[in-house]
Structure 1
């Protein structure tokens, strides 16, 4: 069984969400090509509710496990794409959408040292992301932030306008064509030759149904956060 070395822990906080990031080098996983070494990310939640002057913890949930290669983490663009895949797959949007953006901003640079060390040693990495979510009676009101962006003004849980969604381009996917993606980052399924995909103004494309559901919760691109017109305030 792989041994763990070079433990790194980074406690961070953002309002009602807190998280601890841990990265371990995996001895015994030396790869012939360093970029092919595995990067295993385990994402777990602990959810607490403040009810009637006491804290109630939800039933513990199993880790969501994601497997990449070290090559996916060597460059900032592919690393952000991998981390976005983790946060989407782990259901971060099912909770407070604002904390996800802050977590991504911390997680991307956190990987710098573990990735460099793993590449030099030819080892894999095992990473744990442990999130504590605290829900208070005022959470619903707090989530209606005037910026809708958790303090940064460019990301938040504001749905896209119906008219803007209708105006998105629908094209057929062809390998080697104008669509750069090979899979839909929302559902993680590969794009099949000839299937119709919906494309954002930033040119990122997704399955039409997947993107429509996404835009019902957020008016920004899942990959690059390019914004389209948002729905009117209620």
Structure 2
């Protein structure tokens, strides 16, 4: 069984991609894509995470993924039917491009073995309508796209929970999306009030520039200093 994972950060959304080799008839070599997503939004000034949506399941054959054009068409169909384009078309476009590139290794492995593969896509969407979107200081982006966030207060950073990472435990992330390194079993990670966890050092450096969570933009108290 071959497994690949990545957790990139793209503004208001992030995702985890996994590919597993499956055994099947070489002549058919099925490719199964399972896509599920969770939406976070603003409700009365608070970030609320909806229950995870059920997986959308799509069945293709390996032939759909041998050429870039047909592979892109298959993935575009998946995102369209799953409704991902309805949240942010720019985000959906980035996800589509990464999925196309991500398939390179599973497709090559499947061709060499004569088997198919399953691909699981878990997406977290931070959906903030324009009239509810947090201010630019929470977003951490100033004019011309430069970083312009407000640092978190020292006291607020000290109060953040520090927990041990265990596979299958309370920490839902498997890697730190600030440095993109996987968490080692038993390592201490720092968790924001929104429950997103990061390497302590990575998060401290982030909060020195912005008091908002790197994933969902949930804000903790800001520093009074300019």
TM-score band (shorter)? Answer: 0.5 to 0.7
Contact 2:26 2:115 in 1 (8 A): no
Contact 1:30 1:121 in 2 (8 A): no
Partner of residue 19, structure 1 = 15
CA deviation after TM superposition for structure 1 residue 125, in Å = 0.6
Structure 2 CA distance for aligned equivalents of residues 32 and 70 of structure 1: 10
Contact 2:87 2:127 in 1 (8 A): no
User: Following superposition of structure 1 onto structure 2, how do residues 68-107 of structure 1 map, counting pairs within 5 Å?
Assistant: 68-107=60-99
Gaps of 5+ in 2: 135-144, 146-226
**Of 45-54 and 118-127, the range deviating more from structure 2:** 45-54
**Please, which of 23, 31, 50 is the counterpart of residue 25 of structure 2?**
31
User: Following superposition of structure 1 onto structure 2, how do residues 125-164 of structure 1 map, counting pairs within 5 Å?
Assistant: 125-136=117-128, 138=130
TM-score (norm. length: structure 1):
0.54
Pick closer, same or farther for the CA change 1:47–1:23 going to 2, 3 Å.
same
Aligned with 2:118: secondary structure? strand
Aligned with 1:106: secondary structure? helix
**Please, which of 3, 8, 12 is the counterpart of residue 7 of structure 1?**
3
**Please, which of 92, 96, 102 is the counterpart of residue 110 of structure 1?**
102
Runs of 4+ with deviation above 6 angstroms: 139-142
Contact 2:42 2:132 in 1 (8 A): no
CA deviation after TM superposition for structure 1 residue 127, in Å = 0.4
Gaps of 5+ in 1: 143-150, 152-234
Greater share of strand residues, 1 or 2? 1
Structure 1 CA distance for aligned equivalents of residues 131 and 105 of structure 2: 35
CA deviation after TM superposition for structure 1 residue 13, in Å = 1.9
CA deviation after TM superposition for structure 1 residue 92, in Å = 1.3
TM-score (norm. length: structure 2):
0.55
Structure 2 CA distance for aligned equivalents of residues 138 and 73 of structure 1: 37
CA deviation after TM superposition for structure 1 residue 124, in Å = 1.3
Q: What is the root-mean-square deviation in Å for CA atoms of aligned residues?
A: 2.1
CA deviation after TM superposition for structure 1 residue 139, in Å = 7.2
Pick closer, same or farther for the CA change 1:77–1:49 going to 2, 3 Å.
same
